[in-house]
Amino acid sequence: MPAIVVLVVVLGVFYLGWRYYSLYLAERVYVLDDGRRTPAHALTDGIDYVPTNKHVLFGHHFTSVAGAAPIVGPAIAVFWGWVPALVWVVLGTVFAAGVHDFGSIVVSVRNRAENIGTLTRTIINTRSRTLFLLIIFFLLTLVNAVFAVVIGNLFVANPGAVIPIVLEIPLAIAIGAYIHRTRTSALVPSLVGVAILYALILVGNAYPIELDGMAEAVGVGPRTLWIVLLFAYAFVASRIPVWILLQPRDYINSHQLFIALGVIFLGLLVGFDRIVAPAINTGLPEGTPNFFPFLFVTVACGAISGFHSLVASGTTSKQLDRESDARHVGYLGALGEGSLATGAILATTAGIAAVGMDWRETYPDFATAAGGAVGNFVAGIAGFASHLGVPEDLGRIFAAVVVISFAATTMDTGVRLQRYIIQEIGEMVGARPDGTDRAGAGGTFRRATRNLTAVTAMAVIVPLGLALAPGGGDAGFAFGRLWTLFGTTNQLTAGLALAVIAVYVTRRGRNPIAQLVPLVFLLTMTTWALILNLVDFVQEGDWLLAPLDLIILVLAGWLIVEAALALQRARKETAIEEDVPR
């Protein structure tokens, strides 16, 4: 089937979801009211709380939520066939992610733009705040581990990407300094910066950098060496003020996101590629995980992602000009992420044929599919880019640069956030009510978390250990398992946010079915996947991933209990009117 037909159908379904389902949510479930003052107006400070045009805010929200994760998951999941992966992406986006992202903004806006962690405490209970912190801790640990492996794999497979990626750091700092020091428009410097970055692809292609010799000298594989170097980089980068490196690089990434989407959809249109993967893969080898439930944790971002609730309630809700804009920003943001995931599916099922790759040979088993997923995406983008006149080798480096830039920024942000989470956990376990340290291990831990070097080391060492776990440094089965564990924590975060939204809606006497269906589905799939994984880990004697899986399973059980209790309480309460005065 021509990939463009699939794309048109997907965009058509997205349009229907936007036109009808999001309208139902806006009018009947969230009951948006433009007469209500949003925090951007009530608490305006010109920095965080700024009323922002809905199209601009959509751009901010979309570029904050879209990254490498909606690429990796779908690129693995096509192993079960492109139809199951696409159906989950489309239905998940329309009926789960849209509800979740839109609802997270609404609930936050109605509660003085509080973030989802605080909302968990105020809307469900104090215990849930602890649950939230623990889920986020494991989410960030797994994010940092999987993205280090992703980048390591890409550097080994695409040594031409090393020079552009390394030089992107001073380039970002220079663009940042220029824009900071001048008050002129940033358009020309940005175009020049992106042009320099892509010109560096030519340099990288001419001078590929491989670490084989150095890796051999220290007695490890090149991928392992890259992973260690990446965590050393994350350790240093995460201690630099955000405005020096993280923000300017994120700024370049925002441009790259639109360029990459343009290449995917234009290349698809010009090349008229056909999908070469089976609609449903009936030739699955023995030992392949069942697509029920693993498909639904493999594709987390791209179908529904708990991370979006952090962005929606952390920054977006502070800038919402009118309540009705929440539909535009939240629901369309989810559709944007779904479009990126669809692009990843089409790149790995149609684009790869344009560079002469055979799909069956590329996806022979789940281990290879998982380990090579990002490489396949890179090849697919090179295929699409080749229709636009870009040579294949340069197209591969271009796609690798895009994915590595996203993943490296995610790692930098992830280590920073993990530091705050560890410090909060330190406060939780080591602080007395009067603010002094408790005696014993709790107090010692709290004291350690106050030291920037110690807390950054804690944030780096745990994911580094996971990324270097046996097999984890290779494009092997361990990556697929780490990825599914990451998916489960992401889905649990989404589940927690959906529970908060469902309780909020129920308390107002409205029907929470739009939240409950995705919530129950997510928790069922997540728990099921965790149990199956746990059995496998124990049978195989994997004593690193088994305890991790068990802890996440306990968190899932805890979440189910809290959500059920909170919903039951909310049903018994008298329906209340909105809690923010006009």
174 is a contact residue toward other proteins (CB under 8 A): no
Residue 47 CB, nearest approach to other proteins (Å) = 5
Helix axes 452-467, 441-449, angle to 10 degrees: 100
Q: Which is nearer to other proteins, 48 or 427 (CB)?
A: 48
Q: Which is nearer to other proteins, 250 or 474 (CB)?
A: 250
DSSP summary character for residue 189: H
Smallest separation (angstroms) from other proteins to the CB of 130: 25
Q: Angle at the Cα of 414 (from 161 to 453), degrees rounded to 5? A: 105
Q: Tell me if 190 contacts other proteins by CB under 8 A.
A: yes
- What are the angstrom distances between the C-alpha of 88 and each of 85, 287, 392, 577? 5, 22, 31, 36
Both tokens of residue 449?
């978390």
CA 172/CA 255 separation, integer angstroms: 12
Cα 535–chain centre separation: 27
Mark the segment that binds other proteins (CB under 8 A) among 48-56, 76-84, 119-127, 214-222. 48-56
Contacts of residue 512, defined as CB under 8 A and 6 or more positions apart, other chains included, come to 29, 501, 502, 503, 505, 506, 567
Cβ contact 264:271 at 8 Å: no
Which residue shows structure tokens 């989810």?
A: 334
Distance CA 484, CA 486 (A): 5
465 binds other proteins (CB under 8 A): no
Answer yes or no whether residue 435 interacts with other proteins by CB under 8 A. no
- Min dist. Cβ of residue 142 to other proteins (A): 26
Binding segment for other proteins (CB under 8 A), chosen from 47-55, 144-152, 201-209, 504-512, is 47-55
Paired tokens of 430: 């080591």
Q: How many helices (H) and strands (E) would you count in the chain?
A: 26, 0
Give the interface segment with other proteins, choosing from 67-75, 117-125, 173-181, 405-413 (CB under 8 A).
173-181
Contact between 43 and 112 under an 8 Å Cβ cutoff? The reply is yes
Interface pick for other proteins out of 126, 185, 282, 539 (rule CB under 8 A): 185
Nearer to other proteins, 92 or 248 (CB): 248
Binding-site member from 11, 13, 50, 388 for other proteins (CB under 8 A): 50
Determine contact, residues 406/210, Cβ cutoff 8 Å: no
Q: What is the DSSP letter of 274?
A: B
φ, ψ (nearest 5 deg) of residue 81: 115, 150
Residue of the chain from 60, 127, 438, 510 that contacts other proteins (CB under 8 A):
60
CA pair distance 42, 256, nearest whole angstrom: 35
Provide the 10 A C-beta neighbour count for residue 456.
20
Considering only residues 21, 48, 169, 457, which one is a binding residue for other proteins as defined by CB under 8 A? 48
Q: 452 or 576: whose CB is closer to other proteins?
A: 452
Least Å distance between CB 242 and other proteins?
6
8 Å CB contact between 517 and 97: no
We find the least distance from the C-beta atom of residue 37 to other proteins, in angstroms, to be: 21
Question: Among residues 53 and 436, whose Cβ is nearest to other proteins?
Answer: 53
Amino acid sitting at position 57 = L
Residue 254 C-beta: closest distance to other proteins, Å: 6
Q: Which is nearer to other proteins, 179 or 516 (CB)?
A: 179
Q: Is 44 in the site for other proteins (CB under 8 A)?
A: no
What residues numbered 63-102 form the site for other proteins, per CB under 8 A?
63
Q: With binding defined as CB under 8 A, does residue 206 bind other proteins?
A: no
Pick out residues in 232-271 that bind other proteins (CB under 8 A): 241-243, 247-248, 250-251, 254-255
Task: Determine phi and psi for 437, rounding to 5 degrees.
Answer: -75, 140
Work out how close the CB of 459 gets to other proteins at its nearest, in angstroms, rounded to a whole number.
21
Nearer to other proteins, 45 or 286 (CB): 45
Q: Give the residues lining the site for other proteins (CB under 8 A).
A: 46-48, 50, 52-53, 56, 59-60, 63, 176, 179-180, 185-187, 190, 241-243, 247-248, 250-251, 254-255
